[in-house]
Structure 1
Amino acid sequence: MSRSALVENVTAMLEDAGFLVSDRCAIRPKSFDVAARRSKDTVLLKMLVNIDAFDGPTGAEMRRLGTYLGATPLVVGLRTRDEELKPGVVYFRHGVPVLSPDTAMDLFLEEVPPLIYAAPGGLYVNIDSQVLVDAREDRDWSLGRLAQELGVSRRTVSKYEDGMNASVEVAAELEDVFDAPLTSPVEVLDGAGEVREGDPTPEDPAADPDDEPVIAVLTRVGYDVHPTDRAPFKAVGEAERTNTASMLTGHSSFDRTAEKRARIMSSVGAVTRTRSVYVVDRATRDNVEGTALVEREEIARVEDADDLRDLIQDRVDTDVEEPA
């Protein structure tokens, strides 16, 4: 299967599952292919035939964008260099969960989350520690008795009951001993933080010097501005200090590439509930499908967040829900 076919198939599956899906980010450089939202779940998805092509800088960008846009970064892929991805298993690359198409279909269409994740040394599951404790105590077994049944140390059993995850083989043996399910799903849409390494959000890249005047204005009026280096927009402005919607921003001369970027920004903004504005030297129209076009001199005169909001609303026909 080609990458284009994979993107089309995953997009169609998301739409069948009731997601609002953005246009494909068919512009380089790019860290994600589409954004999608259903109810409170928002995801940024990258589709790859071989997940070994997913590099560290792309993973860092997706994780940053996930933090700033309230979304879960995900990769859907077919194989690694050595083997096809197993169904029902969550893999990780550079801190981002990776699913096979079958696993993604189970998660999004059937709403059945995966139980197994891959980590150095093999395949593992989350043991529901309280269920395990209850099952052992219902049998009136000591830690030592259960350890003997499993052929492990008493300390290892104690760690399982304290929340340590287990290999698939040990989990299967535990469930066979107690004749009951003891595992809990991997919370992929929460970033799978319970099993992946708890790395902090990677630091922002340096801003393009040409974008610094725009970033300075947004910062002055109360936005926390995060530059990007692999997205169709130049920066994300978080609006925690302004009580307005967050914002995707672009900046360049207005040509066909800028128009394409602005169109993608509108589509992604509709999914992530963000405004989008593209700063140009000279605007020949008000907006591109909802992304406001604002001239550099205009944005330089903005004094506060309300001014900026009014300027954008004057250019677009649609509104964005403001935070409560």
Structure 2
Amino acid sequence: METLNRKQVIQEISHLLSGGGFETSQVYYQSCFDMAARKKLLLILLKVLVNVDSLNESHVQEIRKVASTFLASPLVVGVKSKTQKLEEDVVYERHGLPVIGIDTLKNIVLYDDYPEFLADRGGYYVNINGNLLKEYREEYSLSLKDLADLAHVSRETIYKYENDIVRANPETALILEDLLNMKITVDIDLFEAPKEKTDFTIINDASIQNEKTKDLTNLGFGVLETKKTPFDALAIEKNFDEFSKEENPLIASLESNRPEKTLHKMAISLKDLSLITDSESFFIVNNKKIKDSLEGIPVIRSWELKEAEDSKEFLNLVKERREN
């Protein structure tokens, strides 16, 4: 595995996900995330690296914003850290994002076998089901001190385990499981999506750099600009209908001076990403010679954007261009 380059690792992971029933996107090599993958309601944004220590913190910030907007799970998959191979069944962390090796991903995707161990300063740790620990301790009529003495830890430590205050080292967890004759460790759910979407209401004009972004904001959209993605911004109606599909983010390409050949390449990526994320996408351009759509992605001219009265009118125009 150490001899693989990044492109080979990405291809291997793509094949693995496809074999596990995931619908995978194309690879976005110049993006903060390399691919998106969906299986039913689960959406993952993956960053793939050979050496996970090379993860760029600015990319992490972008991945977080995009993942939160799509309610996706961000995940870094790699081969090694410095010169040491990432161990199987262990979750690492870089800049707050979960990091796993390919074998760990394989266990999850093919066998639904999630890792238990978390690598942190000082070694490996596991999470304990505190309620279960307390239930079985009481069932065996053991006090906190009784169980602490048997496990060679302090009474306070057992109390913290039962109240989910601290993690345990694997050796202590194994002793407790032997004593209680019960599995009490908890698998790490790497695919837990963000509980809340990006709050577009906090985005204000001071954060907006693009003229077209300002125009979208004036129509009633919340807009989040991005830099290291296959698109330029994500937008959402601030006052969407509760039952409307427009609740999903809109994927926008807003740069007006790109050559048409470049726009065609971007359109392929936008179409691909729209299918994976179940989102609408569109271009806003200045060039009136460009057709009303590129690779099936609606094209809106900048003056049409300015002439729209509100978000509903703009979205109707996008829908019309898409259907035609």
TM over 0.5: yes
1:48-104 CA distance string (max 9 Å, x none): 000011021111111111111111111110000031111111111111111111111
Aligned to 1:139: 140
How far off is 1:32 after superposition?
Answer: 0.4
Query: Which runs of structure 2 are paired with 1:1-324 in the superposition (5 Å)?
Result: 1-26=4-29, 28=30, 30-163=31-164, 164-190=166-192, 209=209, 211=210, 213-243=211-241, 244=246, 245-252=248-255, 253-255=257-259, 256-282=261-287, 283-317=289-323
In structure 2, do the counterparts of structure 1 residues 100 and 118 end up closer, same or farther at CA, with 3 Å as the change threshold? same
Aligned-residue CA RMSD (Å): 2.2
Conserved 8 A contact 1:204-1:228:
no
Identity, in percent, stands at: 29
How far off is 1:8 after superposition?
Answer: 0.8
Q: Which amino acid aligns with 1:39?
A: K
In structure 2, do the counterparts of structure 1 residues 176 and 191 end up closer, same or farther at CA, with 3 Å as the change threshold? farther
In structure 2, do the counterparts of structure 1 residues 290 and 98 end up closer, same or farther at CA, with 3 Å as the change threshold? farther
In structure 2, do the counterparts of structure 1 residues 82 and 191 end up closer, same or farther at CA, with 3 Å as the change threshold? farther
Q: Which amino acid aligns with 1:121?
A: G
How far off is 1:284 after superposition?
Answer: 1.9
TM-score by length of 1: 0.88
TM-score by length of 2: 0.88
SS in 1 for 2:191: helix
1:250-280 CA distance string (max 9 Å, x none): 1222423332222212211111111111111
Conserved 8 A contact 2:71-2:194:
no
Conserved 8 A contact 2:33-2:229:
yes
SS in 2 for 1:36: strand
In structure 2, do the counterparts of structure 1 residues 160 and 58 end up closer, same or farther at CA, with 3 Å as the change threshold? same
Q: Which amino acid aligns with 1:296?
A: S
Give unpaired runs (5+ residues) of structure 1.
194-199, 319-324
In structure 2, do the counterparts of structure 1 residues 8 and 87 end up closer, same or farther at CA, with 3 Å as the change threshold? same
Q: Which amino acid aligns with 1:131?
A: L
- In structure 1, distance between residues paired with 2:130 and 2:34: 38
How far off is 1:40 after superposition?
Answer: 1.0
Give unpaired runs (5+ residues) of structure 2.
none
- In structure 1, distance between residues paired with 2:43 and 2:194: 14
SS in 1 for 2:93: strand
Conserved 8 A contact 1:25-1:32:
yes
Q: Which amino acid aligns with 1:179?
A: N
